[in-house]
Structure 1
Amino acid sequence: MKNPSVILFSAILISGVCLRADDFGTHGVIYPIEEEDPIQLIQQKLKAMEERGELERHNKELQKKTKASVERPKPVEGITRATESRVFYFNPTHVVREDLKDHLGQVFAKKGTKINPLETVSLSQNLLFFDGDDLEQKEYAQQQFNIEKEKLKLILIKGAPLVLSEEWQVPVYFDQGGLLTKKLGIKHVPALVTQEGLQLRIEEIFLGETE
């Protein structure tokens, strides 16, 4: 039988090694790793910006840019004043690429069907596209509106629609991003769009040479 003192010494030695192994590499207090809440981070950043006055300045700049874009939208690119009169037509007919179904799943237009929206809905107003920064075009647009009244819709490709609308006391629209002029193929203004049968007649109008 082994000496009890040897056994006790061995136990103490093993215990000491284990303790040292458990404590090895530990420096200070250990905290669990947690991800920071992104919402809290944003709130902290906004609070810091507010304290530095940056938030108010940023909001004012944003409001200024928004107001400017509404009062004077970005001009439609690629549109110039007409140097000669030109008439052409736009056929709105399009071919259905796949079966169209209603909310009940019933097919109301089969793939390959040709649809012309003018067969069911007529152009309710003639459209006049013009440059609101061109004095002659403005005068021409105002003259045409005085003749046609509510039958004519005024659409700017450049200028300040709100200012002009207030000045003339009539609705004035803006072709945002050139959506309509690109679709219709309009390159020069003023341009008048009217319906002729199942097509749209587009006339780019030459007002004379600029001085």
Structure 2
Amino acid sequence: MLEWIDHRLRQFEANGKLADMQEEFTQRVKESIENPPPVEGLTTTNPRTFYVDPSIVIPKDIVVPATGQVIAKAGTKVNPFDSRTWPKADGKDILPKFELSKVLVFFDARDAQQRRFASEYHNDKPIKWVLTAGSPNQMATLLDARIYFAQDGFLTSRLNITHVPAIAYQEGTRWRIDEVNVSGLQPLEIEQ
């Protein structure tokens, strides 16, 4: 069997088919990187603001390996934005207080009005650009910034984002989500 596979590969190499297959594979990989599968959602037409509780429930006891001390019991509700809910060791805080220092902006780069919104949006906090669809490379060039992609909709589903563009940031002990209406913006066309 291995001899047959080796023989076929040599034939493909000799007639150029192997190079064609490699080129086709390279193009498919390049396309999937430059235009990842979109996270489906609709452009915001009715802007809204809502809040999301980031709390999680600890599924099993968290134990300090060296001492065996349980610092968080299974079923404990922990909010990463609220240090009062965090595990403690010997009754003392074991982690420093936390405040999210960035703003997450979710948008669909296929939509020219959302591209315009992204190109004009400013915030006092650093911005993390998160694409739900479109080309990360084009947006990195347009915004002169690092671009992230909402892989399989994990973040959008955790934050209950159903329309984009949307701005997500910490407000107190919750996520605040602002879905923005861009229908009045001038489209921003980009060269393909």
- TM-score w.r.t. length of structure 1: 0.71
Q: Distance in 2 between matches of 1:168 and 1:193?
A: 18
The aligned residue for residue 52 of structure 2 is 90
Say if 2:102 is the partner of 1:125. Answer: yes
Pair member with larger Rg: 1
Which of residues 43, 46, 50 is equivalent to 2:9? Answer: 46
Say if 2:130 is the partner of 1:151. Answer: no
Which stretch has the larger CA shift, 85-94 or 162-171? Answer: 162-171
Q: What amino acid does structure 2 have at the position aligned with 1:90?
A: V
Q: CA deviation at 1:124?
A: 2.5
The runs of 5 or more residues in structure 2 that have no matched partner are: 83-96, 187-192
- SS, match of residue 132 in structure 2: strand
Q: Distance in 1 between matches of 2:8 and 2:64?
A: 49
- TM-score w.r.t. length of structure 2: 0.78
CA contact (8 A) 2:50 2:178 kept: yes
Q: CA deviation at 1:164?
A: 1.8
Which stretch has the larger CA shift, 201-210 or 121-130? Answer: 201-210
Which of residues 8, 17, 26 is equivalent to 1:63? Answer: 26
Say if 2:158 is the partner of 1:195. Answer: no
Higher strand share: 2
The runs of 5 or more residues in structure 1 that have no matched partner are: 1-35
Q: What amino acid does structure 2 have at the position aligned with 1:66?
A: V
Say if 2:48 is the partner of 1:73. Answer: no
Q: CA deviation at 1:129?
A: 0.7
CA contact (8 A) 2:113 2:183 kept: no
User: After the TM superposition, which residues 13-52 of structure 1 pair with which residues of structure 2 at under 5 Å, given as runs?
Assistant: 42-52=5-15
Closer, same or farther: CA 130–102 of 1 in aligned 2, 3 Å: same
CA contact (8 A) 1:71 1:161 kept: yes
Q: Distance in 2 between matches of 1:133 and 1:206?
A: 16
Q: Distance in 2 between matches of 1:179 and 1:80?
A: 16
CA contact (8 A) 1:89 1:201 kept: yes
CA contact (8 A) 1:83 1:209 kept: no
Closer, same or farther: CA 149–70 of 1 in aligned 2, 3 Å: farther
Aligned residues: 171
CA contact (8 A) 2:53 2:174 kept: yes
Q: CA deviation at 1:187?
A: 0.6
- SS, match of residue 63 in structure 1: helix
CA contact (8 A) 1:128 1:153 kept: yes
